[in-house]
C-alpha cells in the first residue's frame, strides 16, 4: 500500500468520524473516486462508529448530571420536552435510528435518542445498525452505477492515489 493510498483511507476515516459528514456520504464518494469498495466501506463505518461510541459514553454522563440538577431544582418538563416525548413514544428508538441519520446525522440522532430515554446499549445498537445499513446500501448503489451526482470523471481520486 503506497503512502497516497494510506492517506486517502485516513481521510475517509477522519471525514466519516466528523458529525454531519457521515460514513454514508464519505464512503460512496471514495468509491466513486476509485478507492477499493470493501476497504473504504469498512474504514468509513469504523470512523463513524468510533466517534458515535465516544459521544454515547459522554452524553450519558452529561444527561445524568442534567437530570439530577433538574430534580434538585424541582423543575417540571417544558412544553417542548413533552412534545419530544410524544414523538419518541410514537416512533421509538428503531424508527428514530433509521430515519434520523439521513436528516440530521448519526451523532445528533444518538444524542436525541439518549436525551429522550434510550439506553446506551440500545442506542448504540440501533444507530450502528442504521449507519451500516445506510452506508452499505448507498455504497452498493454507487458501485452498481447509480450515480446521483452525474459525475463524468469517475475514479477522480485514482490520479492522486496511484502517483
Average pLDDT over the chain, rounded to whole?
83
Please give the backbone phi and psi of residue 21, each rounded to the nearest 5 degrees, phi first.
-80, -50
Identify the band that residue 111 occupies on the pLDDT scale cut at 50, 70 and 90.
confident
Residue 160 has a pLDDT of 65
Identify the band that residue 44 occupies on the pLDDT scale cut at 50, 70 and 90.
very high
Give dist(CA 138, CA 109) in Å, integer. Answer: 19
**Residue 153: DSSP 8-state:** S
Half-sphere exposure of 6 toward its Cβ, with a 13 Å CA cutoff?
3
Determine whether 76 is exposed, middle or buried from the number of CB atoms within 10 Å of its CB (0-12, 13-18, 19+).
exposed
Cα-Cα-Cα-Cα torsion 144, 36, 45, 129, nearest 10 degrees, comes to 40
Identify the band that residue 24 occupies on the pLDDT scale cut at 50, 70 and 90.
very high
Determine how many CB atoms are found less than 10 A away from the CB of residue 29: 19
Q: Check pLDDT > 60 for residue 25.
A: yes
Here the cell at position 14 is 477522519
Q: Check pLDDT > 70 for residue 42.
A: yes
Q: Which tens digits make up the pLDDT trace of 72-107?
A: 777 656 554 565 566 678 889 998 889 888 888 899
C-alpha dist (Å) from residue 86 to 28, 59, 90? 35, 22, 6
Q: Check pLDDT > 80 for residue 152.
A: no
Determine how many CB atoms are found less than 10 A away from the CB of residue 7: 12
Residue 93 has a pLDDT of 92
Residue with cell 469504523: 46
Residue 76 has a pLDDT of 58
For the residues 29-34, what does the mean pLDDT come to? 86
Q: What percent of the chain has pLDDT over 90?
A: 37
Amino acid at each position: 500500500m503506497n503512502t497516497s493510498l494510506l492517506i486517502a483511507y485516513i481521510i475517509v476515516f477522519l471525514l466519516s468520524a466528523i458529525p454531519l459528514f457521515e460514513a454514508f456520504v464519505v464512503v460512496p464518494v471514495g468509491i466513486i473516486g476509485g478507492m477499493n469498495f470493501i476497504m473504504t466501506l469498512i474504514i468509513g463505518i469504523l470512523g463513524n462508529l468510533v466517534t458515535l461510541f465516544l459521544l454515547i459514553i459522554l452524553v450519558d454522563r452529561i444527561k445524568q448530571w442534567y437530570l439530577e440538577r433538574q430534580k434538585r431544582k424541582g423543575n417540571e418538563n417544558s412544553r417542548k420536552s413533552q412534545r419530544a416525548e410524544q414523538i419518541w413514544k410514537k416512533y421509538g428508538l428503531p424508527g428514530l435510528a433509521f430515519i434520523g441519520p439521513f436528516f440530521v446525522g448519526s451523532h445528533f440522532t444518538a444524542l436525541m435518542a439518549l436525551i429522550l430515554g434510550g439506553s446506551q446499549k440500545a442506542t448504540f445498537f440501533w444507530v450502528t445498525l442504521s449507519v451500516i445499513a445506510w452506508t452499505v446500501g448507498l455504497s452498493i448503489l454507487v458501485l452498481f452505477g447509480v450515480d446521483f451526482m452525474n459525475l463524468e470523471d469517475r475514479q477522480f481520486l485514482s490520479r492522486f492515489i496511484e502517483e
